[in-house]
Amino acid sequence: MKSKPSTLLTAITLLCLLGFITSVNAQGLPIECGGILQGEFQESGEEHNYFLNLLPGDQLSVQSEGVGDYVRYTIGLYSPSNRDVQTVYSVNQNPYDATGVLSERGAYRISVEAVTLGIYTLYVSCVLGDGTVINAGDVASTSTTNDAQSSSPVSNFSGVGFPGLVPVDFANVARLPLPSSVPMGGAVTPAGGEILGFTLDANASDLVELNFTRLSGNLNLGLVVLSANNEVLFQASLVTSQTLSTRFTVPSAGQYTIGVFRIDLLAPSSPEATAFQIQATLNP
């Protein structure tokens, strides 16, 4: 549970994520069991929120590490019903002990609040209800993250043209609300199969302007917009492009899911952790 990930993975994560984490933490950042995240406090009292999907019977452990001797912060864990599960005060380079066995199903929130300014790293580990251990830096199992399996091109295609993509299961993916016109961010790692989900509530005939940007890294990203009935409303990919902007009309009222995941079309030879930003505006 408390084994440290490699220094190389930590360094990659710092270089790719540090530049955008602060700007998206007001809304929250999706994470997975086995994840590594870094943030920087630039204002006193600043709060960073991270969300991960857990099931009844799971346990969670978060290790933290600050840069330097003086950065201090508190870590709080809150259940999907916003109950305070566990809080640790004035942390720097101290483990956040494993929780007891969790009871609620859904998105748990890890809140990290500044006492002093500086940089910190979180190492998120889990013990699943079936006894599976996922340490920080590990590739999470499909049972908790619905691993996209890198969304590899269809292997039996030998013709000329588009090879297609394998299906991506969103059944148990944690989803964060995406307020209109508010940019939110996320990240995928070279070894992981993260699927990051956002929800957008819209009315029939609403016009949606969607902006999708790769902020750092070189992994190829897929994006899909799904209706409440699992119908694909829009699909696109960032392969060699860095940004995507589009507009589409919502056919019916309801909650729509926007999912972002890694794909391996024209896969880079030296994969890097990749950060992105997404913004949806209703009736611009």
Q: Are residues 165 and 133 in the same domain?
A: no
d(C-alpha 114, C-alpha 108), whole Å:
20
pLDDT digits 0-9 by tens, 128-174: 888 888 888 764 333 223 333 333 333 455 567 776 677 788 877 77
Query: Are 262 and 151 a contacting pair, CB within 8 Å?
Result: yes
pLDDT digits 0-9 by tens, 43-70: 878 888 888 888 888 888 888 878 777 8
Q: What is the pLDDT of residue 92?
A: 58
**Strands, E assignment, the chain:** 29-30, 36-41, 47-54, 59-66, 73-78, 84-91, 95-96, 106-114, 118-127, 133-134, 175-177, 184-188, 195-202, 207-216, 220-226, 232-238, 243-249, 254-263, 274-282
Tokens 């799971």 belong to residue? 58
Query: In DSSP terms, which residues pair with 95 in a beta bridge?
Result: 63
Instruction: Give 5 or 65, the one with higher predicted confidence.
Output: 65
> Could you tell me the pTM of the whole model?
0.51
Mean pLDDT of 257-268: 86
Tokens of 193: 């199969």
Domain presence at residue 155: yes
Tell which residue, 112, 14, 122, has the closest CA to residue 65.
Answer: 122
Q: Are residues 212 and 226 in the same domain?
A: yes
76, 106, 141: which is the final residue of a domain? 141
Domain presence at residue 225: yes
Binning pLDDT at 50, 70 and 90, where does residue 75 land? confident
The proportion of the chain whose per-residue pLDDT surpasses 90, expressed as a percent, equals 20
Mean pLDDT of 210-235: 91
Q: Are residues 173 and 255 in the same domain?
A: yes
Tokens 């199969």 belong to residue? 193
Instruction: Give 274 or 22, the one with higher predicted confidence.
Output: 274
Domain presence at residue 2: no
Q: Are residues 270 and 150 in the same domain?
A: yes
Q: What is the pLDDT of residue 93?
A: 52
Domain presence at residue 82: yes
Q: Are residues 173 and 252 in the same domain?
A: yes
Q: Which domain holds residue 83?
A: 7-141
Domain presence at residue 212: yes
Return the CATH number at 11: 2.60.120.380
Q: Are residues 151 and 122 in the same domain?
A: no
Domain presence at residue 1: no
- Dihedral, 176, 180, 183, 188 alpha carbons, nearest 10: 40
Mean pLDDT of 120-125: 83
For residue 36, count CB atoms less than 10 angstroms from its CB and return exposed for 0-12, middle for 13-18, buried for 19 or more: buried
Helix (H, G, I), strand (E, B) or coil at 13: helix
Q: Are residues 79 and 96 in the same domain?
A: yes
Number of Cα atoms under 13 Å in the Cβ half of residue 137: 15
Domain presence at residue 16: yes
Q: Are residues 136 and 173 in the same domain?
A: no
Q: Are residues 116 and 156 in the same domain?
A: no
Binning pLDDT at 50, 70 and 90, where does residue 190 land? confident
Checking if the pLDDT of 248 tops 90, the result is yes
Give me the chain's average pLDDT, please. Answer: 76
Q: What is the pLDDT of residue 97?
A: 60
d(C-alpha 161, C-alpha 89), whole Å:
56
Q: Are residues 152 and 276 in the same domain?
A: yes
114, 141, 168: which is the final residue of a domain? 141
Domain presence at residue 275: yes
Measured on CA atoms in the order 95, 99, 105, 110, is the torsion positive or negative?
negative
Number of domains in the chain: 2
Q: What is the pLDDT of residue 73?
A: 86
141, 172, 195: which is the final residue of a domain? 141
- Dihedral, 100, 51, 94, 13 alpha carbons, nearest 10: 140
Q: Which of 4-13, 65-74, 173-182 has the highest mean pLDDT?
A: 173-182
Q: Are residues 235 and 268 in the same domain?
A: yes
Strand order in the sheet with 106-114: 29-30, 47-54, 106-114, 73-78, 84-91
Q: Are residues 155 and 110 in the same domain?
A: no
